[in-house]
Amino acid sequence: MRPAAIELLRSPNSRSPLKIKSITEEQDGEIKSGELIAEDSGDVYPIVNFLPRFVIDDAYTASFGEQWNRYRRTQLDRFNGTTLSRDRLFEGTGWKPDELIGQNVLEAGCGAGRFTQVLLDAGAKLCSLDYSSAVDASWSNNGPNERLTLVQADLFKIPFPLDFFDKVFCYGVLQHTPDPKRGFMSLLPHLKSGGKLAVDLYRKTPWITRWTAKYWYRPVTRRMSRDRLRRFVEWYIPRWIPIDNALQRVRVLRYAVPAIVPCWNYTGMLPLTSEQIESWAILDTFDALSPRYDSPQTEETLSAWCAEAGLEDVQIQVAGNGLVCNARKP
């Protein structure tokens, strides 16, 4: 971490400012290892491999740490040669790249940093967090950067200032927490008056599709060892994709079989090479089957959260991975 980033950090428990307690190793002007201490309580937080750590382990997010470190470059635009992450962010949020220049943005849940790259490229001053060890993948992909403050922290105890951020961005996260509503509400105190919120959630539907067949299998797969599940997915996905592609040409089987066999096959949907299709399918299928929590929501539920929070200019639409919500704090 940059020594100057200490000004942006707060104790997740007491909300008090932090200061540097010790530095044991520095590299190129960054603190690689050391300790932070809360000024009031004396709580100590380690800096490990350049990143402040406000949680002691991955807890319920361990599968994400594994997948994003293993496939850390798969979905980043500058490595896959597409603009898929950039397009998804700006189409989903309705934000314009030039409005992000110099703005303070909170990214709650960074994964390997696919959207981190987009926000930094647009000129934002970014505070980014993830509960899992995926922060190490994001640091590998995006750090060091003088406009990036990256930490491992709990969404429910965000170690950044209150009433501070111009924008809060949270994609692909809330449905994987033990309490999606609480996670949603945890974002709002950090948004300043007039600031914009952008979140997405999986959509709860009464029918089974290619994308919801996972719920038949998750009672078993989420209890499997992550290594065993990953190896199984890496084995069957490359073999199943050609079969899945062939089934798409048979009208009666086009929807039925893919809804039975979980496979995040983007052939014909995304501008990817066959090798990238395979890599994305392995990543996203593992992502669907492995998390401890996966709680889709309805438009009505998300709308009720926004109303309870007193948000304005609320827009909820079916897009992206399910539901996309954009709103403004009064």
Whether residues 238 and 163 fall in one domain: no
Same domain, 144 and 63: yes
Is residue 229 classed exposed, middle or buried when 0-12, 13-18 and 19+ CB atoms within 10 A define those classes? buried
Cα(219)–Cα(221) distance, integer angstroms: 6
pLDDT the model gives residue 182: 98
Q: In whole angstroms, how far apart are CA 213 and each of 101, 237, 259, 285?
A: 41, 15, 5, 11
Residue 208 lies in a domain: no
Q: How far is residue 26 from each of residues 2, 3, 31, 48, 225, measured CA to CA in Å?
A: 10, 10, 5, 11, 37
209 occurs within a structural domain: no
Residues 95 and 230 in one domain: no
Q: What is the DSSP letter of 49?
A: T
Same-domain pairing of 190 and 65 = yes
pLDDT of residue 198: 98
Q: β-strands 104-108, 44-48: how paired?
A: unpaired
Q: Does residue 140 share a domain with residue 29?
A: no
319 lies in the same domain as 194 = yes
| Average pLDDT of span 184-205 | 97
Q: Is residue 14 part of a domain?
A: yes
CA geometry: angle 13, 17, 21, nearest 5 deg:
95
Is position 188 within any domain? yes
Q: How confident is the model over 56-110, as pLDDT tens digits?
A: 877 678 788 889 999 999 999 999 999 999 999 999 999 999 999 999 999 999 9
Q: Across residues 245-269, what is the average pLDDT?
A: 89
Whether residues 174 and 229 fall in one domain = no
Given 53, 74, 93, the domain boundary residue is: 53
Q: Which residue has the tokens 């009505």?
A: 300
- pLDDT tens figures, 101-144: 999 999 999 999 999 999 999 999 999 999 999 999 999 999 99
Q: Is 140 among the domain residues?
A: yes
Mean pLDDT taken over the chain: 95
Note whether 177 and 323 are same-domain residues: yes
The tens digit of pLDDT for each residue in 7-47 reads 999 999 999 999 999 999 999 999 999 999 998 889 999 99
Residue 298 lies inside a defined structural domain of this protein: no
The answer as to whether 229 is a domain residue is yes
Q: What percent of the chain shows pLDDT beyond 70?
A: 99
Q: What is the CATH number of the domain that holds 63?
A: 3.40.50.150
**pLDDT tier at 233, thresholds 50, 70, 90:** very high
pLDDT at 288: 96
pTM for the structure as a whole: 0.95
Q: How many domains does the chain have?
A: 3
Least reliable range by pLDDT among 58-72, 155-169, 197-211, 310-324: 58-72
- Does residue 295 form part of some domain? no
What pLDDT is attached to residue 95?
A: 98
Residues 285 and 312 grouped into a single domain: no
Q: Is residue 99 located within the same domain as residue 119?
A: yes
Segments forming the whole domain that contains residue 1: 1-53
Do 114 and 39 share a structural domain? no
Q: Please check the confidence at residue 218 and state whether its pLDDT lies above 90.
A: yes
The percent helix, strand, coil of the chain (3-state, each to 5) is 40, 25, 40
Residues sharing a CB contact under 8 Å with residue 14, sequence separation 6 or more, in sequence order: 38, 40, 41, 43
Res 329: pLDDT? 98
pLDDT > 90 in the chain, percent: 88
| Rounded average pLDDT over 158-173 | 98
Considering only CA atoms, which of 137, 172, 136, 138 is closest in space to residue 155?
172
- Of residues 261 and 58, the one with the higher pLDDT is 261
Q: Do 95 and 195 have their domain in common?
A: yes
Judged by phi (left if over 0) then psi (alpha if -120 to 50, else beta), residue 301 lies in alpha
